[in-house]
């Protein structure tokens, strides 16, 4: 990030079910975010800390959103951050429907009532080359122990259906499959157990961020995978470490509905920015 002549930089801290974000608003001033900047701000001891950094900028619709992970890599999609920012923009403008653009494509958000926000995360990517995988294969059951399902939601996902999601040591299980050679761009990793009809328990390891309390795009991928495997219908309630989210795979895309929290506003100081070089 170029820091010459920069003044203190305002930010918002938000979370969706414990999946937390630092949000920068670049509509009024240019904020040239770099990977090094994302890594520094993402450090929970020497920075602010987040699962993803999100930048709001002017776009073809109501706004354009760009996302970075804590390791400085970029992500085309971040469902919970999209919901959080959509709620902020709705409060700012009074609108109840928004058109947002991302590297994932055009996303649409609506006020679902009762302080809940819904976002259409688009159609899932079910072909191997679109996830993407390293070679041609059926994405429903991968040739990996546990026969997980691969799904693309603008970013890759690998969903393991297990008897007890609580029993899986995600700190070691997650990174093992995040870097599996079948996923050339790495992958988000989920372990999922069936609680009941259309009711799932999910834990998630996010590509480039690690163990998180919730993940929106992962929830969408799991809802799609569970239906494809005949475990649920197209509408599911998913219990995450951070709370409950609802996923509905409709003809126009995968809709995700849940609560959001705008925690606080803050300032990234010139001292911090100058130290980055």
pLDDT computed for residue 8 by the predictor: 87
CB 63 within 8 A of CB 27: yes
Q: Is residue 63 part of a domain?
A: yes
Average pLDDT over residues 199-216: 95
The pLDDT of residue 131 is above 70: yes
- How far is the C-alpha of 159 from the C-alpha of 203, rounded, in Å? 10
pLDDT computed for residue 5 by the predictor: 56
Q: Is residue 133 part of a domain?
A: no
pLDDT band at 31 (very low <50, low <70, confident <90, very high): very high
The pLDDT of residue 267 is above 60: yes
* Whether residue 220 is found in the same domain as residue 157: yes
For residue 251, give both structure tokens: 């003809």
* Whether residue 270 is found in the same domain as residue 218: no
Dihedrals φ, ψ of 164, to 5°? -145, 100
DSSP for residue 79: H
Sign of the CA dihedral running 119, 120, 125, 126: positive
* Whether residue 188 is found in the same domain as residue 87: no
pLDDT tens by residue, 96-105: 999 999 998 8
pLDDT tens by residue, 51-95: 999 999 998 999 999 999 999 999 888 999 999 999 999 999 999
pLDDT band at 3 (very low <50, low <70, confident <90, very high): very low
How much of the chain exceeds pLDDT 70, in percent?
98
* Whether residue 161 is found in the same domain as residue 239: yes
Which range marks the domain in which residue 66 is found?
9-120+260-275
For the domain that residue 211 is a member of, what is the CATH number? 3.10.310.10
Number of structural domains the chain divides into: 2
* Whether residue 240 is found in the same domain as residue 268: no
Own/partner pairs for 10-13, CB < 8 Å, 24+ apart? 10/265, 10/266, 10/267, 10/268, 11/48, 11/265, 11/266, 11/267, 11/268, 12/88, 12/262, 12/264, 12/265, 12/266, 13/48, 13/50, 13/262, 13/263, 13/264, 13/265, 13/266
The reply to whether the predicted model has a pTM over 0.85 is yes
Q: Is residue 17 part of a domain?
A: yes
The pLDDT of residue 37 is above 90: yes
Which candidate, 208, 228, 256, places its Cα nearest to that of 127? 228
* Whether residue 202 is found in the same domain as residue 231: yes
The pLDDT of residue 1 is above 60: no
């Amino acid at each position: 990030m170029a820091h010459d002549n920069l003044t203190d930089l305002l930010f918002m801290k938000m979370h969706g079910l414990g999946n937390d974000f630092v949000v920068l608003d670049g509509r009024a001033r240019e904020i040239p975010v770099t990977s090094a900047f994302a890594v520094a701000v993402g450090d929970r001891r020497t920075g602010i800390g987040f699962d993803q950094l999100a930048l709001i900028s002017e776009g073809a619709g109501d706004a354009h959103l760009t996302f970075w992970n804590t390791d400085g890599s970029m992500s085309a999609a971040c469902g919970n951050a999209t919901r959080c920012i959509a709620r902020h923009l709705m409060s700012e403008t009074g609108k109840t429907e928004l058109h947002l653009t991302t590297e994932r494509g055009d996303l649409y958000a609506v006020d679902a009532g009762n302080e809940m926000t819904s976002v259409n995360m688009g159609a899932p990517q079910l072909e191997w080359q679109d996830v993407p995988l390293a070679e041609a294969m059926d994405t429903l059951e991968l040739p990996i122990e546990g026969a997980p399902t691969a799904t693309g939601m603008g970013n890759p996902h690998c969903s393991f259906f297990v008897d007890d999601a609580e029993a899986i040591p995600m700190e070691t299980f997650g990174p093992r499959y995040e870097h599996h050679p079948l996923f050339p761009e790495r992958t988000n990793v989920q372990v999922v157990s069936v609680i009941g009809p259309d009711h799932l328990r999910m834990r998630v390891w996010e590509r480039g961020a690690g163990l998180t309390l919730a993940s929106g795009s992962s929830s969408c991928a799991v809802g799609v995978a569970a239906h494809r495997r005949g475990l649920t219908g197209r509408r599911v309630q998913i219990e995450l470490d951070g709370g409950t989210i609802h996923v509905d795979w409709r003809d126009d895309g995968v809709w995700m509905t849940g609560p959001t929290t705008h925690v606080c506003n803050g300032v990234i100081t010139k001292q911090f920015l100058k130290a980055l070089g």
